[in-house]
Amino acid sequence: MKILVINGPNINMLGIREPEIYGSVTLDKIEEGLREYSKNFKNLELEFFQSNSEGAIVDKIQSALKENIDGIIINPAAYTHTSIAILDSIKAIKKPVVEVHLSNTNSREEFRSVSYVSKAAIGTVQGFKQDSYKMALFGLYNYLNE
């Protein structure tokens, strides 16, 4: 089983950007922790991708068809609230997607309570900082093995 983990704009700035909201853990540490956690699951391979570009994220989502990706975990970051293109690409590939956020977007600015991505996701995990990714992986793995 292969799961693609996609991170959107400014996630590469974790550890520097607003640690009071996002925590002090870097993206590299989140990926390292998720790789370690994935050892608890049988026959699981993870692939990681981060981009600040909406088009690159859409291209990567679409590539899931050719790369035999079984599911996607995505933190679309600011594109959560603006990107119909990312929503449409998720709908097009017909693969299960879990949306993940480090912070609880519903407890922040009003505009952050709107998520286009959640309209196509099988579930959303948010508010648990880096552990949100582990929860998303647990849920997606179990969903794929039903």
- Write down the pLDDT at residue 60: 98
> What are φ and ψ of residue 96, in 5° steps?
-70, 135
- Write down the pLDDT at residue 111: 61
- Say which of 79, 101, 116, 133 is annotated catalytic: 101
Coil, strand or helix: which one is 42?
coil
pTM of the entire predicted model: 0.92
CATH number of the 2-144 domain: 3.40.50.9100
Q: Can you give the pLDDT of all 146 residues of the chain as single tens digits?
A: 999 999 999 999 988 877 776 678 899 999 999 999 999 999 999 999 999 999 999 999 999 999 999 999 999 999 998 899 999 999 999 999 999 998 777 656 676 667 899 999 999 999 998 999 999 999 999 999 98
- Say which of 22, 116, 133, 141 is annotated catalytic: 22
Provide the phi-psi class of 36: left if phi over 0, else alpha when psi is between -120 and 50, else beta.
alpha
> Helix 27-38 to helix 131-144 angle, to the nearest 10 degrees?
40
Respond yes or no: is residue 101 known to be catalytic.
yes
Sequence spans of domains, the chain: 2-144
Q: Which of 10, 17, 103, 16 is nearest to 57 (CA)?
A: 10
Respond yes or no: is residue 81 known to be catalytic.
no
